[in-house]
Amino acid sequence: MINDEKFVKLKTIIEKELLNVFPSNLDSYQQLITDAMKYSLISGGKRIRPILAIAVFELFSVVDDLSVKFLSSIEMIHTYSLIHDDLPSMDNDLLRRGKPTLHIEYGEDVAVLAGDALLNLAFENMIKIAIDSNGNNSYKYLKAMNVIASSSGYRGMILGQIADIKSEGIKIDKETLDYINLNKTGQLIKASMLSGAIIGNASDEDLKRVKKIALNIGKAFQIVDDILDIEGSEEKLGKTTGSDEVNGKVTYPSLIGIENSKKEVEKLSMNSIKILREINADTVFLEKLILFLINREK
């Protein structure tokens, strides 16, 4: 999939948009914060969330410039969450996407601020597009922003992070693990796909379908991450593996075993594809994308 023509094309477009956001002709302080933001933003991520968002958008509408710009903002939110998650007071990670984490490279103070700046920039960017789109479309973008904002906040992704750090070293049950995964990972994936559907003008029925698909994918995605932490190679993943076991972290593999985890992933992805096929659209690319997400490289 990483070599799939369309996947590569979308990834390239998204990365171009992410770079285009930043102006040139910067003074030295602007250069510093911009460099720090770009260091994490342009660092070989797979861009899963905006690609999912655009793939869903394309089920319902023909892709245009503003939509791509808008949906690329989700990657800024994802990236800020990684920067803050890596901080010494949080996961204290030294390596991310094969490079030293931002606080190692730029210092902890700049990493806190660059994370803040990326979250802020995501909204700045989405708001600007909602204004530029003018008239009726503004409202559509506002509705998408609403989903993104509530999914990434204290009742969404941040809630998942809180539950995660407060569960460290504790033998949590499956229900709590599902709660953490749903919020920490699932919510932003759900928001990506739903916002794609909203600005693609999906019907209410299809919005419900997309939501169901997203929740299945979000759950499967996190389980795959946990499996890769056991079976994956640091070289290919570009991050430290085996850390869950070292940290005594409860994961799907540790709760139900690695084979059952793989079966669960299989079930979730098949379920997603079943619902996806109920949508009257060309679902080929999104199906491929879903299968890729559960067969990521070790």
Q: Count of residues binding its own copies (CB under 8 A)?
A: 49
Q: Which is nearer to its own copies, 127 or 291 (CB)?
A: 127
DSSP 3-state of 44: coil
Place of tokens 């770009």: 38
State the binding string over 10-29 for its own copies (x if CB under 8 A, else -). Answer: -------------------x
Task: Please tell me whether residue 70 binds its own copies under the rule CB under 8 A.
Answer: no
Q: Token match 């410039």: residue?
A: 65
List 48, 53, 82, 145, residue binding its own copies (CB under 8 A):
145
Report strand pairing: 99-100 vs 95-96.
antiparallel
From the list 60, 125, 46, the residue with the least C-alpha distance to 289 is 46
**List 12, 19, 42, 89, residue binding its own copies (CB under 8 A):** 89
Applying CB under 8 A, which of residues 63, 66, 87, 273 lies at the interface with its own copies?
A: 87
264 binds its own copies (CB under 8 A): no
User: What is the DSSP track for 138-197?
Assistant: HHHHHHHHHHHHHHHSTTTHHHHHHHHHTTTTS---HHHHHHHHIIIIIHHHHHHHHHHH
Evaluate the CA torsion angle 74, 80, 86, 91 in order and state its sign.
Answer: negative
SS3 198: helix
Q: Which listed range, 109-117, 222-230, 249-257, 269-277, lies at the site for its own copies (CB under 8 A)?
A: 109-117
Taking CA atoms, 102 is separated from 23, 195, 229, 239, in Å, by: 21, 29, 21, 13
Please report how close the Cβ of residue 115 comes to its own copies at its closest, in angstroms. 7
Residue 35 Cβ, how far from its own copies at the closest point, in Å? 11
d(CA 98, CA 95): 6
Alpha carbons within 13 A on the beta-carbon side of 4 = 16
Among 95, 104, 119, 230, binds its own copies (CB under 8 A): 119
Residue 116 exposed, middle or buried by CB count within 10 Å (0-12, 13-18, 19+): middle
- Residue 230 interacts with its own copies (CB under 8 A): yes or no: no
Q: Between residues 123 and 292, which has the closer beta carbon with respect to its own copies?
A: 123
173: contact with its own copies by CB under 8 A: no
Exactly one of 95, 158, 255, 275 binds its own copies (CB under 8 A); that residue is 158
181 lies in the binding site for its own copies (CB under 8 A): no
Among residues 155, 236, 263, 277, which is the contact residue for its own copies, using CB under 8 A?
Answer: 155
The DSSP 8-state label assigned to residue 285 in this structure reads H
34 binds its own copies (CB under 8 A): yes
Residues in the site for its own copies, rule: CB under 8 A?
A: 29-30, 32-34, 37, 80, 84, 87, 89-90, 107-110, 112-113, 115-117, 119-121, 123-124, 127-128, 130-131, 138-139, 142-143, 145-146, 149-150, 152-155, 158-159, 161-163, 165-166, 179
